[in-house]
Amino acid sequence: MGVEGPDRAKTSGEGRFACGAVLPMKVRDLMTVDVVTVRPDATLRDVADLLLEHRIRSVPVVDDIGHLLGVVSESDVVGRVVGTGSEGRGLGSLLARALGSAGEAADAPGAAVEAPTAGDIMTRDVDTCAPEEPAASAARRMLRRDVRVMPVTDDDRVVGMLARHDILRLFDRPDAEISDRVDDLLANPLWAPEDHHVEAAVHDGVAILTGSVPHRSDVGVICNEVRHVPGVIEVVNRLTWDAPDPRPPVVRDTDWR
């Protein structure tokens, strides 16, 4: 059994091939599927309430059929209600202040009827990922674009949320479990070359491969497959090969006549 995070019950199951070989982790294997969303006409007080209640940093803004319109973050709410000069302050306490400020403004005599809404302050140009996208690819994009939470969309509809802490579940696996997965892969002829003599040892997520394979190109095949086993952080290649790759037959002009 795998090690599960506290929100694992809210996520999809891990991807495995029918005969037991481990496939690369997909976004759907890690994303949170119980997504909190708001409509564009939600007030800032409503948004702040949801962020505090569910202890989340951002919330997708969707239309009546679930299409993604944008995202509102806690900093968006704080920046609109509290204003600038809030650097270094705890965003949780600032959100609480935002709740009070929004309520006081709405109750004040002569207050404007048209209060700011989620649609007014949301970020419209949002980075998203797809359920079938490799989790490693989505993680690299999150780091490259400095995104902490990414909506998961299918046909423009929000079906999940992927956060940086979700990505940590890729590495939250004991060495014994990782080793079993690698052994399963090496024993499967669909994923590993035949007649190989490869053994794997896993220490702190690092897979050390020793032994031999029939041909030189088999080394890259095995290393690449092991690298995609969930929990493997790095692959140390100590493999040798028995023979060079076989050369393709030489076709002469006379062979076509």
What tens digit of pLDDT does each residue of 123-157 get?
999 999 999 998 888 888 998 888 889 999 999 99
Question: What local confidence, expressed as pLDDT, does residue 114 receive?
Answer: 66
Question: What local confidence, expressed as pLDDT, does residue 4 receive?
Answer: 30
Task: State how far the Cα of 53 lies from the Cα of 42, in Å rounded to an integer.
Answer: 16
Question: What local confidence, expressed as pLDDT, does residue 195 receive?
Answer: 87
Question: What local confidence, expressed as pLDDT, does residue 97 receive?
Answer: 58
Question: What local confidence, expressed as pLDDT, does residue 252 receive?
Answer: 59
Question: What local confidence, expressed as pLDDT, does residue 160 receive?
Answer: 96
Question: What local confidence, expressed as pLDDT, does residue 17 receive?
Answer: 34
Question: What local confidence, expressed as pLDDT, does residue 11 receive?
Answer: 42
Question: What local confidence, expressed as pLDDT, does residue 250 receive?
Answer: 61
What is the model's pTM? 0.62
Task: State how far the Cα of 122 lies from the Cα of 127, in Å rounded to an integer.
Answer: 13
What domains are there in the chain, each with its CATH number?
Answer: 8-170 (3.10.580.10), 175-243 (3.30.1340.30)
Question: What local confidence, expressed as pLDDT, does residue 21 receive?
Answer: 39
The per-residue pLDDT string of the chain (257 residues; one tens digit each, 9 = 90 and over) reads: 333 333 333 444 444 333 333 456 789 989 999 999 999 999 988 998 999 999 998 999 999 999 999 999 988 888 876 665 444 444 555 555 555 555 554 455 554 456 789 999 999 999 999 999 988 888 889 988 888 899 999 999 999 999 988 888 777 789 999 999 999 999 998 888 888 999 999 998 899 999 999 999 999 999 999 988 888 888 999 999 998 888 766 655 555 55
Question: What local confidence, expressed as pLDDT, does residue 80 receive?
Answer: 77
